[in-house]
Amino acid sequence: MTAALGPGTGTETWGLLAVVLVTGAALAVGAFGMRFARTTSSFLVASRKVPPALNAAAISGEYLSAASFLGIAALVMQFGFTMLWYPVGYTAGYLILLLLVAAPLRRCGAYTIADFAEGRLDSPGVRRVSMAVVVLIGTYYLLPQLSGAGITLAAVAGTPYWFGVVVVGAVIVVNVVIGGMRSVTFSQSFLFWIKLSAIGLPAMLLVAHLSGGALGRLWSTSAPTFSHPTVVHLSSPTKIEVATREPVGVRGKIDGHAVAGRMVLARGRYEVGAGSSLSFRPGEAVPSVVGQPPASGDGWSSPTGYPGEGSGHPLFFVYSVLLATFLGTMGLPHILARFYTNRDGRDARRTTLTVLALIGGFYLFPPVFGALGRLWDPSLYLTGKTGSVVLLLPRVLFGGIAGDLLGALVAAGAFAAFLSTSSGLLVSIAGALSHDLLARSVRDFRLAALLAGSVAVGLGLLVAPFNINVLVGWAFAIAASSFCPLLVLGIWWRRLTPPGAVAGLLTGGGLASAAVLATMLGVRPGGWPGALLAQPAAWSVPLAFTTMMLVSLLTQGSVPEGVVAKMLVMHAPERLRIAGQSPEHRPPAGDS
Amino acid sequence: MSSGTGGHAVSSGAGGHAVSSGAGGVERIRVEVSAAREAKALEAREKLSELEEQTAIGEVLLRSLLRAQLRLALQILALFASLLGGLPLVFVAFGSLDNLRLAGVPLPWLALGVLVYPILYLLARLYVRLAEQTENDFADLVEEQ
């Protein structure tokens, strides 16, 4: 059995077929939902008549993005147990959302976060700033989705990176333009179940396949070795580091010398020329790539041992990621929009509870692919394609038709992930743009969707070098530093003022996105400054809260009128029939 | 949860529509009232007292409800923080935990990759139950009045 490196084994047909099927099905479900989309209101929030179970699956479907499907496994494979905090944070974010935001937000009856800001603070200014932040977070979050699409199509069908980006970009624009949110609700819940089975079934089969001794090695901390004869093609020049004397077969160039045949590399660093291939026998050690941490030892198997950027401060990294993901979830515009489709505050809570169960179940699986990949397909370390481990592993482990079919299944799941998350994001971005800049009609919504989709595709072509999970983590950090303080203070603190909200949004959101942008552009100072820039949430979130509160306290004269009534609407149970709560809510139980 | 409530007359019920404008609004209404004719003044005075009554009730309601709900949310949050927030510190302080295995699975993986999720769900379920109970108690209290 030879490791499948890229396409060319005749298996891409299955993967492509699966991708086409999922895409077609998502569009068909969307078009079916189109029959219900008649007015702007139903277009945007599905008329608030979505029952909790369906809504929870839709929220989960929208939430589980390329980062969850592909990125987590890649990070675990590369950096080890420390990356397990990401999915924990992604899930725990819903607990925080449930505790502080879900029911009050639904009761205030706003369509979007910009509506919430305007309704709570009576300020068109806060509304405009919020809209800008929605577009900012939405775009940051859209890029990794499109990037994941590029990676996936490249892995299953051998197409260039840009092709996947453009194809998924086009599909989501069409989906959103024909259906709006209503259709997206149906698509999203459908896509959630595809994603869960596409990651769960292969993971369980792979683990069952390995039972016994091999399973015990899954957690071994020794350096990864090849488990089967493997040929690694390196398409670009690669600097490798050999820890001890290692035998290797070479066809190509090493340090500029043409080599063909087996040789022994002494300890040291070597440059392998582009187009060379290295072959290894079972049991031979995997050379590490210079600049990447070794996937072994305590650094890999410790939950606080992140050996990457800011490596001197793994504990800071963990807490900053936790803070960003805990508090960022509530600030994701496409997720918040979905809470308005609950019937009332009670349903909003129940929906959130179901979401916790659904995504918690999903997150059991992706990290397993990371550990399996380290053991069974370590060639990905050399090729720098750990991002595709979820897609490639079934074929490597099973081979034959079983491997092809499972490979096709995960490809379908990955595609479901991009389609669902990016559709939801595009609805939010287009909603914000059309609601505030254009004339609030369905036609403008479609125009905005087309515009935003095109811009995102353009930017998506530029972010190929970044791990998609890291990109998503940054979107969370910006959300946690802007909308989280706005929501939490807006819901629980009567003294919030429009100037305070604007100051907090600009300070937190602005500084967090500046730090992220600097890191993306390659500004990476060592030591603490580097750690603080790469994971800004730990400082930008407290800063945003402090700014919002301080400026509010200094501008108490502009506390909006009727703040008590507004707060009552958000917190009073539906039973009391407080005026201002959504009129459509069903008669409360036991109130006849 | 204290707030500058001095001049914030507010409509909270379905019928209320008169709202004063910020600090000093009540005084201004009073001034306008005293300038008006007798009959109208009487009517206005009635409206005003009704409004003030509503505002006072609204304030009390809001304060007690907010306090109860916030206390509940913060209690669950504290429980959650002590369970999960302290975990990174525990792993750093007791490095040997990293090597501990249960049924062949390393303890950190078992904790972060598996056990966290049911615990999060149970915490959330506990909160939903208690929050609905708080709201029902509150609604009972209001309806009794």
Residue A478 near residue A557 (C-beta atoms within 8 A): no
Same domain assignment for residues A273 and A156 = no
Cβ contact, residue pair A88, B65, below 8 Å: no
CA of A243 vs chain B CAs: smallest distance (Å): 24
- Residue of A99, A304, A561 with shortest CB distance to B77: A99
- Of A42, A96, A68, A50, give the one whose Cα is nearest residue A492: A96
Q: Are residues A126 and A77 in the same domain?
A: yes
Q: Taking CB atoms and an 8 Å cutoff, what residues of chain B touch A96?
A: 77
Per-residue tokens: A344:
């009332």
> pLDDT tens for residues A83-93?
999 999 999 99
For residue A258, give the DSSP letter. E
Residue A204 sits at the chain B interface (C-beta within 8 Å): no
For residue A202, tell me if it sits in a domain: yes
Say if residues A15 and A407 touch (Cβ distance below 8 Å): yes
pLDDT in tens, B10-65: 333 333 333 334 444 444 444 444 454 555 555 655 554 554 555 666 677 778 88
Q: Which residues of B touch A91 (CB under 8 A)?
A: 116-117, 120
In a domain, A284, yes or no: yes
Residue A267 in contact with partner chain B when CB distance is under 8 A: no
Q: Are residues A423 and A520 in the same domain?
A: yes
Question: What residue spans of A101-160 are helical by DSSP H?
Answer: 102-108, 113-121, 124-157
Q: Which of A493, A559, A565 sits opposite B11 (nearest CB)?
A: A565
Are the beta carbons of A572 and B98 separated by less than 8 Å? no
Concatenate the DSSP letters of all residues of A445-509 into one string: HHHHHHHHHHHHHHHHTT-TTS-HHHHHHHHHHHHHHHHHHHHHHHHH-TT--HHHHHHHIIIII
Query: How far is the alpha carbon of B62 from chain A, nearest alpha carbon, in Å?
Result: 6
Owning domain of residue A462: 52-211+300-558+566-573
Q: Which residues does chain B have within 8 Å of residue A573's beta carbon, measured at their own beta carbons?
A: 135-136, 138-139
ipTM of the complex: 0.86
Please report whether residue A26 resides in a domain: no
Three-state SS at A114: helix
Same domain, A114 and A77: yes
Q: Is there a contact between A562 and B19 if contact means CB atoms under 8 Å apart? A: yes
CA distances from A145 to A115, A149, A174, A456 (A): 26, 6, 16, 10
Identity of residue A145: Q
Contact partners, residue A491, CB within 8 Å, separation at least 6: A100, A101, A104, A105, A570
* Cα–Cα distance measured from residue A155 to residue A148, given in angstroms and rounded to the nearest whole number: 10
* A476 shares a domain with A422: yes
Distance (Å) of CA A484 to CA A46, A141, A501, B6: 25, 16, 11, 29
Same domain, A246 and A349: no
The answer to whether residue A22 sits within a structural domain is: no
Same domain as A332, residue A288: no
Neighbours of A311 (CB within 10 A): 16
Domain count of the fold of chain A: 2
Distance CA A35, CA B133 (A): 40
Residue A282 DSSP symbol: T
CATH at A61: 1.20.1730.10
Count of other CB atoms within 10 angstroms of residue A307? 19
Say yes or no: A314 and A288 in one domain.
no
Distance from CA of A35 to the nearest CA of B (A): 35
Residue A585 in any domain: the answer is no
Let me know the angle formed at the C-alpha of A71 by A229 and A408, rounded to the nearest 5 degrees.
Answer: 60
**pLDDT number for residue A184:** 60
**Nearby residues of A354 by Cβ (< 8 Å), 6 or more positions away:** A52, A53, A56, A57
- Same domain? For A243 and A283 the reply is yes
The sign of the CA dihedral A248, A253, A257, A261 is positive
Does A501 share its domain with A542?
Answer: yes
Q: Does A214 touch chain B (CB under 8 A)?
A: no
Give dist(CA A439, CA A416) in Å, integer.
Answer: 32
Which among A398, A525, A468, A452 has a CA at the least distance from the CA of A143? A468
A112 and A241 together in one domain: no
- Last residue within a domain, chosen from A259, A294, A329: A294
- Give A328 to chain B, closest Cα distance, Å: 16
Residues in B touching A303 (Cβ below 8 Å): 87-88, 91, 98, 108, 111-112
* Averaged pLDDT, groups of 10, chain A, 592 residues long: 41 77 76 52 51 85 86 89 92 94 86 84 90 89 89 84 89 77 67 90 86 72 82 86 83 85 86 87 84 75 69 80 91 81 86 94 94 88 86 84 86 84 84 70 77 87 78 90 95 94 95 88 76 87 96 92 83 73 41 28
* A88/B127 touch (CB, cutoff 8 Å), yes or no: no
**A63 lies in some domain:** yes
> Is there a domain that residue A44 lies in?
no
Q: How many CB atoms lie within 10 A of CB A380?
A: 25
A225 within a domain of the structure (yes/no): no
Helical H segments across A158-263, by residue range: 161-209, 213-217
| pLDDT for the residue A555 | 94
Asked which of A294, A320, A345 is the last residue of a domain, the reply is A294
A354's torsion region: left (phi>0), alpha (psi -120 to 50) or beta?
Answer: alpha
Q: How far is B40 from chain A (nearest CA, A)?
A: 25
Do A342 and A464 share a structural domain? yes
Contact A411, A152 (CB under 8 A): yes
Distance CA B121, CA A535 (A): 27
How near does any CA of chain A get to the CA of B133, in Å? 10
Candidate from A92, A99, A103 with C-beta closest to B84 = A92
- Give the DSSP H or E segment for A278: strand A276-280
Burial A458-475 (b: 16+ CB within 10 A, else e): ebbbebeebbbbbbbbbb
What residues are paired with B101 via a beta bridge? Answer: B106
User: Are the C-beta atoms of A361 and A91 separated by less than 8 Å?
Assistant: no
